[in-house]
Chains A and B, each alone.
Chain A
Amino acid sequence: MTKDKLSYKIAKVLKSALAATALPIFIIYIMIAKPDYTIMNNLAHVVLPVANFVGSVITWPIRAIGQSAQWIRETSLLRTENKELRAKLDAALSNQYSCKVAIEENQKLEKEIDVKRASPFKSVIADIQFDDSVFHHNTFLINRGKQAGLGHGMVVVSFDNRLVGTIIDCGSAFCRVRSLIDADTNIAIRITGSDVSGFLRGNGKNKSFISFFSDPQFVGRKGLSVVTSNISGVLPSGIYIGDMIDEKHIDVMRPNQLSRVMVLKYDNQDSYK
């Protein structure tokens, strides 16, 4: 149809007239059908699904590409989120470990304080600073000294009340302790459940041994318990040392098994040499 033709012009005007006619119809409809717009909604209930279906069919490839792009983006986001969550989890776990350590340290401290209170002697808690095991000697340093009222010959025990050693030197803020496996150790002991006494000596190795029994007929055996004896008043009596593991040797507490000890303020009149 040529635009210059009269029929074209008439058709155009007719179409416009049709559109112009539709205008008041629509406006009146909006005014009277408010708020339900029943006809309009019912018409949409038919037209919309049809248009949606046709539109969905023809836009399928575009939407597939869009969904793939979205999927890639979401995967990327999930990965980033996963990394962040992992970092947070690590931080939380680290925090949890710190809490666990603090709780366990607290429990240990409470236990140590209880032991200290239950001890018949006044006592001082000290940390083991250096374990000086060398050759056949085995001494260690603790971080309490004269300032804490410690002195030469005092007894060092563990928190389960086992003898660990005796102080052989005391500085103002530290003490040197001779452990039971030191070759110079020589302390009076007693076999529990008997009157048999003896002397405990160290040999620089992990086991101490009893060098002398007061009863020559006595034969040691595995499982017998050994405690300190108060002969000459060098050590307080009855402190558990360990169990015999054979005829002569005793399984004693070693400094490398401990991090903290308790020093009993037992006045031995400086008789421990």
Chain B
Amino acid sequence: MNNVVHFFKILWPFLITLILWRLSVSFWNPAGILALIPIFFYSFVKPVDWFPAFGLLICFLIDYRCNLPLFWTIMYCFFYAVNGFQNYIDLEHMNKNALYLFMVFVSVGFCMLTFTYLTWNGLLNNIWLFIWISILYTPITALDKWIKR
């Protein structure tokens, strides 16, 4: 039983990412965009071995379903590279599981997408998604603590 629990704990970051991507619903989770939360968290805040490759794959799938050629994939790579090369900001010890940096990460992406094709509808939709994904960041990352216990 302990082995199962241990195995589950190891698999958890992958599972939650896949679950959030799979449970895509228009408006609430379009193209599984909420999967960006565990991707960010387990890549930068609580790094998990081999997770970045998986995160890259899910970013690729999000892009594919959003019809955005490699947009989030490039964003992820860029952020990963920048984070790796610097030691000024330590994401692993930031307050609130680095929520503000996550907000920066997604807001940059959303801003770029908004200004690529600027409409009122798109703007409002992106604002909504930004707020929603930021709100959900804390509970979803809090799940990690609960699972680890």
**Residues of A participating in the B interface, judged by any CB pair closer than 8 Å:** 12-13, 15-17, 19-20, 22-23, 26-27, 29-30, 33-34, 37, 40-41, 43-44, 47-48, 51-52, 54-56, 58-59, 62-63, 66
Q: B84 to chain A: closest CB distance in Å?
A: 2
20 more A-B residue pairs beyond the given contacts A23-B81, A44-B64, A62-B23, with a C-beta to C-beta distance below 8 A = A13-B84, A13-B85, A15-B80, A16-B80, A16-B82, A20-B77, A20-B81, A23-B74, A26-B74, A26-B77, A27-B74, A40-B64, A44-B61, A48-B65, A54-B18, A55-B21, A58-B18, A59-B18, A59-B22, A63-B23
Contacts of A55 in B (CB 8 A): 18-19, 21-22
- Please indicate the chain A residues that have their CB under 8 angstroms from the CB of B74 in the complex: 23, 26-27
Q: Which of chain B's residues have a CB closer than 8 A to the CB of A17?
A: 81, 84
Is B122's CB within 8 Å of the partner chain A?
no
Number of contacting residues on B, CB 8 A? 26
* Least Cβ–Cβ distance between B88 and chain A, in angstroms: 14
Q: B102 an interface residue at 8 Å Cβ cutoff?
A: no
Closest chain B CB from A137 CB (angstroms): 82
The main secondary structure of chain B at its interface with chain A is: helix
Q: In the complex, which residue of chain B has the Cβ closest to the Cβ of A20?
A: B81
Chain B residues whose C-beta falls within 8 Å of the C-beta of A58 in the assembled complex? 15, 18-19, 22
Residues of A within 8 Å of B125, CB to CB, are none
A44 to B66, CA, bound (A): 12
Closest chain A CB from B28 CB (angstroms)? 11
| Interchain nearest-CB distance for B90 vs A (Å) | 10
User: Provided the pairs A23-B74, A23-B78, A30-B69 are in contact, do residues A15 and B84 lie with their beta carbons within 8 angstroms?
Assistant: yes
Interface pair A30/B84, CB less than 8 Å apart: no
User: Which chain A residue shows the least CB distance to B70?
Assistant: A26
Tell me if B131 counts as interface (CB < 8 A to partner A): no
**CB pair B61 A23 closer than 8 Å:** no
Q: Given A16-B85, A51-B61, decide whether A59 and B69 contact each other with a Cβ distance below 8 A.
A: no
Q: Which of B50-65 contact A (CB under 8 A)?
A: 52, 57-58, 60-61, 64-65
5 A-B pairs with the lowest CB-CB distances in the bound complex, closest first: A16-B84, A55-B22, A20-B81, A19-B80, A19-B81
Chain A residues, CB < 8 A from B23? 59, 62-63, 66
B60 pairs with A44, CB closer than 8 A: yes
A54 vs B83: C-alpha distance when bound (angstroms): 30
Task: Say yes or no: B18 contacts A37, CB within 8 Å.
Answer: no
B80 partner residues in chain A, CB cutoff 8 A = 15-16, 19
Q: Identify the closest chain A residue to B82 (Cβ).
A: A16
Query: Which residues of the other chain, B, contact A47 by a CB distance below 8 angstroms?
Result: 57, 60-61
